[in-house]
Amino acid sequence: MASMNWRSKSTSSFAFVNTALCLLLVLHFSTTCEAKLSSKFYDKTCPNAISTIRSSIRSAISRERRMAASLIRLHFHDCFVKGCDASILLDDSPRFKTEKSALPNRNSARGYELIENAKARVEKICPGVVSCADVLAVAAREASLAVSGPSWTVKLGRRDSKRAYPDEANTDLPGFTDSLDRLISRFAGKGLSARDMVALSGAHTIGQAQCFTFRNRIYSNTSDINASFARSRRSRCPAAVNQGSSNLAPLELVTPNSFDNNYFKNLIQKKGLLQSDQVLFSGGSTDRIVSEYSKNSARFRADFAAAMVRMGDIKPLTGSAGQIRRICSAVN
């Protein structure tokens, strides 16, 4: 017990000294403190951080398998708004409004309490060392593994933002009615390619969507949706806009709780639930990628893992920027 207390104090002191040194450099030499993300970032300061996060997340997903999709989505929605800085986890404060109430997140983004619980466990062994942004990044990887998805090396060393950005959440996050060109443009704006976009969309092989996000599509009688598929989805999603809007349906019917390439096979059969799914295979430039992934699961898994690493590199706060929050829902 004594050695654990010593380790907690020393790791906290280490982080404080590093930050203090950075601030001195900034003040006296007009320079900036920049640090690169590294998978070994906590090897000395909190060697049990990853295993602690893993245990917490795996336990939560064993209780509710759907949470795997929610955590991957939460990481995605964090990174696409001002970078991977855990801004999505912040509650309202006198200084800013939360991203949780932005339209793409309202009543749909989930898993906040799981990240808070994992962070609390890490704080017990290494107070003030591991950021909420890094907890979320590791949680997304562990969520994928929990549902037989791919693994990837999570680079670490992000710091947490001091505010949330609800306006940017409303404008920067992809929408369920986005066209292919709009999706490609959105991802390009974050430094991600069309292939990255298709691979990351493959996360819709797990998880569920609310009726209001696909109602228009299943009642449209257009040529880009399989008629029998559309009819089957109407039983839980009435045409009337004031009925059943929050009813859930799996994004992928065949194996909705397993990470595989059935999502892409469905798109080829015009069985994409969301409009933003089906546009990936609709006679456009990404048809060939969808076709490739539908035939080659290994290629999809490898590309998904690589895209998750690139997404995790979107504008992280490092060095002396931001802070290490004590709790993820509020700034220090």
- Reported as type and span, the H/E element at residue 277 is helix 275-278
Here the tokens at position 278 are 């089906």
Q: Under a CB-based contact definition with an 8 Å cutoff, are residues 179 and 284 in contact?
A: no
Q: How far apart are CA 181 and CA 186, in angstroms?
A: 9
Rg (CA), the chain: 21
The CA-based dihedral angle spanning residues 167, 171, 177, 180, taken in that order and rounded to the nearest 10 degrees: -160
75 included as an active-site residue: no
- Reported as type and span, the H/E element at residue 250 is strand 248-250
Give backbone dihedrals phi and psi of 306, rounded to 5 degrees, phi first: -65, -40
Here the tokens at position 326 are 């004590």
Q: Under a CB-based contact definition with an 8 Å cutoff, are residues 70 and 111 in contact?
A: yes
Cβ count near 13 (within 10 Å): 11
Here the tokens at position 228 are 């029998």
DSSP conformation letters of 150-215? ---PPPB--BB-SS--HHHHHHHS--TT--HHHHHHHHHTTT--HHHHHHHHGGGGS-EEEGGGTH
Please pick, among 28, 75, 77, 204, the residue that the annotation labels catalytic. Answer: 77
Residue 171 half-sphere exposure toward CB, CA atoms < 13 A: 6
Q: Under a CB-based contact definition with an 8 Å cutoff, are residues 87 and 115 in contact?
A: no
Q: Any idea which residues carry the catalytic annotation?
A: 77
